[in-house]
Amino acid sequence: MARRVCSFCEKPEDEVAHLLAGPRGVAICDECAELAVEITGDHAFEQTSGDLLLTGVDRIITNDPRLDGPIGEGAIAVRNGRITWIGREQDLPSRYREIVTLDCGGRTVLPGFVDAHTHLVFDGDRADEFGQRMRGASYETIMTAGGGIQATVRATRAAGPDRLLEVSMARADRMLSLGTTTVEIKSGYGLETLTERHMLEVASEIGSRLPLDVVSTFLGAHAIPDEYRSDRDAYLWLIEEEMLPAVASIAEYCDVFCDAGVFSVDEARRVLAAGRRHGLRPRLHANQLGDTGGLELAVEVGAVSADHLEHVSERQASYLADAGVIAVLLPAASLSMQAAQAPARLLRDAGVTVALATDCNPGTSNVESMQFVVALGAMEMGLTVEESIWAATRGGALAVEEPDKGWLRVGAVADLHVLDTDNYLDLAYRPDRPCTWKVVKDGRVVVG
């Protein structure tokens, strides 16, 4: 593959700190990004919109590894939806003063949350099942008795198209109002071609109706539907021959629930390979219920992420690190399952990139708030609050392969979360009260 070069200074990718993807195949190194926007004006960044200056920021959590820590008394200038200047307000060049200004009044700004694992398109609820689990019934027993995922499949198939969009949009809208600016959404409650495709259409509709970026994942292998219980092979054939051709144009990733009592390693390998043939990159639900080989399969196929990972040893963590597979951890699901949390510290120490996500679904994680997840990361998983915030922003962005999100630096997408506090620790310290003051998407204030 040809080496990418900065379209402005023509330095090659390996000689610059970071090469940003611009519109129409333009690439810009972060040194040149500010200049590029000035010279080319609106035209260079036609996919984005929004000019804004944020001033009076007590602290900016940038996630920029070139800086020692947060920027104090900061300002952020945004042109056409991208950050063109960031630093201490006293150093702000006067030309940026003309831009529409949002005075943050001493509050804290961090990147918008990137929720890298959700099942937010569904109908029905499973509160009764939750009640049973809190009385001691296991997830597996409920699943074997025809409840669990199958119950949501029945409700989702029965929902009319308008209803599925309405209830799912409402969830996504609440997520946005809590600071999430990019969300991954999986299918997997249709388990037949039309409903699987319809779920992904709803996901894409959410992305076009709300100022929220949606990343779509096909999860036809979420469970074997009741009608195929006696013929698993026929269901796998249906996924390969009918579902994947029907969804390939509207999904980016292919996922499989590879775990005890669900899909075996061989079955998951088959589905992911078929997904690959249709251009869908692999990710995997792995090692949630047991250590049944999902993690090793994620490594084998070069999955973008392995998600859940409650059952992981030190040695397995090193496999993930060596293969560059991102660990997407879902502490709200483990909490609801009353299971041990994934070993976040061990994974980080092994060099694995860790992301945190909600897993929003009606069975194991009826949760929409990434703030709540950040709090769990700190209080339940042994991460520091800073690590937990990083995992919910930059970690999430890496897990959905969006390198210009999840950090705040010149050239990054201006998805910003302005807290109603000057202390980012409040995200975890006061987990029951939303900390969101305003949300900025592509440089436009969309909440608050």
Is residue 368 a contact point for ligand NIG (CB under 6 A)? no
**DSSP labels, 122-133:** --S--HHHHHHH
- Please name the residue that has the structure tokens 């989702």: 156
**Can residue 359 be called a binding residue for Fe ion (CB under 5 A)?**
yes
Site string for ligand NIG, 276-295 (x = CB under 6 A): ---------x--x-------
d(CA 362, CA 158): 16
Coil vs helix vs strand at 403: coil
Residues written for the chain: 448
Dihedral sign from CA coordinates of 131, 132, 135, 137: negative
Q: 236 with 267: CB under 8 angstroms?
A: yes
Binding mask 239-268 for ligand NIG (x = CB under 6 A): ------------------x-----------
What is the C-alpha to C-alpha distance for residues 393 and 108, in angstroms, rounded to an integer? 15
310 is an interface residue for Fe ion by CB under 5 A: no
Nearer to ligand NIG, 34 or 123 (CB): 123
List the single partner that 288 binds among Fe ion, ligand NIG, none, CB under 5 to 8 Å by kind. Answer: ligand NIG
Near Fe ion by CB under 5 A, which window of 75-83, 88-96, 288-296, 356-364?
356-364
Q: Among residues 74, 147, 148, 406, which is the contact residue for ligand NIG, using CB under 6 A?
A: 148
Out of 213, 240, 267, 359, the only residue in the binding site for ligand NIG (CB under 6 A) is 359
φ, ψ dihedrals at 109, nearest 5°: -120, 135
**According to the binding rule CB under 6 A, does residue 369 interact with ligand NIG?**
no
Which residue's CB is nearer to ligand NIG, number 81 or number 363? 363
Query: Which of the stretches 108-116, 148-156, 242-250, 388-396 binds ligand NIG when contact is defined by CB under 6 A?
Result: 148-156
Give the shortest CB-167-to-ligand NIG separation in angstroms: 15
User: Looking only at residues 73 through 132 of this chain, which bind ligand NIG when binding is defined by CB under 6 A?
Assistant: 119
**What Å distances lie between residue 83 and 68, 77, 121, 347, CA to CA?**
19, 6, 32, 32
> What single string gives the DSSP state of each residue in 307-361?
EE--S--HHHHHHHHHHT-EEEE-HHHHHHHT-PPP-HHHHHHTT--EEE----B
Q: Which residue is nearest to Fe ion (CB)?
A: 359
Interacting residues toward Fe ion by CB under 5 A: 359
- Residues of this chain that interact with ligand NIG (CB under 6 A) are 119, 148-149, 152, 257, 285, 288, 333, 359, 361-364
